[in-house]
Structure 1
């Protein structure tokens, strides 16, 4: 059975050690240009954000005030809008939109989880404490021969990355 190798089509390959050094310099030039462009883009985003932030904050304040007014009126007229029995409906239709009341599902808030767990266990309420089992990959890496050959486990070793790191001076601000 033949093995098929996937290969990339190389566009431009240096032909000598000097060419390779030149390509590394070029990679550094391109990386620095990339950073200049990214910085320019971020400066433009910051300027746009600064320009629109006060406008958006003012609009947010107006939206909240308007919604609070609508809620106050609707709360005062809820029976008229929805009927005596809440089961008749929790949504009121207007020409311009709807308002609705929705009951959130029950939730639990826990502070100091470790002490709550200890208290539940001390009180014999272990059914409220979840125990989670998971694969210990670190232990497997320490003993790869023990788990080698087990279905579903693949030990990956010897993967090598190639890194091009052009020289450049670091400057502190």
Structure 2
């Protein structure tokens, strides 16, 4: 497991020192960003080179898979016996997988109404939950309710000043 190096940090002792530290923080962030951009500039041609080399193999892979599947689908009744869904060959196996059943509903409101009309209420879920938005809108009304508290926290943030380069037609 890699260890993270900890750095001893001296707290700012004045507003002026905090301002200098914020300025340095912005400089460091920009340097990291420049290094990341340089890294990506160097990686992109390498990635493209290998993707181009792999393309004929990917195309052949897709053609082979399609050819095998077309033959297997045509001969499926002869290849499978009983409940088997896998065919074992000397060079590898192939077969079919059945997905897990899923329910698809189109027109939820219409389907809900039909289920109600047919008295099939066991297929309708009613979810009861606390309305937190209403509590936040009316906090005084629930002050006496045990188990409800309204929490709020404060976090510290720093945003160094900087400007972005504008390119004609494109605003970054």
When normalised by structure 2's length, the TM-score is 0.71
SS of the residue corresponding to residue 28 of structure 1 reads helix
Q: 2:137 aligns with which of 142, 145, 161?
A: 142
Task: Note the residue ranges of structure 1 that are not aligned, 5 or more in a row.
Answer: 1-8
| Distance in 1, Cα, partners of 2:49 & 2:135 | 55
Structure 1 residues 124 and 60: alpha-carbon distance in aligned structure 2, compared to 1, 3 A threshold: farther
Cα offsets for 1:8-32 (capped at 9, x unmatched) = x962222333222211110110111
Counterpart in 2 of 1:5? none
Counterpart in 2 of 1:162? 156
SS of the residue corresponding to residue 155 of structure 1 reads coil
Length, aligned pairs only: 160
SS of the residue corresponding to residue 105 of structure 2 reads coil
When normalised by structure 1's length, the TM-score is 0.70
Task: Note the residue ranges of structure 2 that are not aligned, 5 or more in a row.
Answer: 1-6, 168-172
Cα offsets for 1:42-100 (capped at 9, x unmatched) = 434544443344444443332222112222333344455333xx32x221211222112
| Distance in 2, Cα, partners of 1:68 & 1:120 | 43
Counterpart in 2 of 1:110? 105
> Are 1:82 and 1:90, in contact at CA under 8 Å, matched by a contact in 2?
yes
Counterpart in 2 of 1:6? none
| Distance in 1, Cα, partners of 2:14 & 2:99 | 69
| Distance in 1, Cα, partners of 2:158 & 2:76 | 68
| Distance in 1, Cα, partners of 2:92 & 2:21 | 62
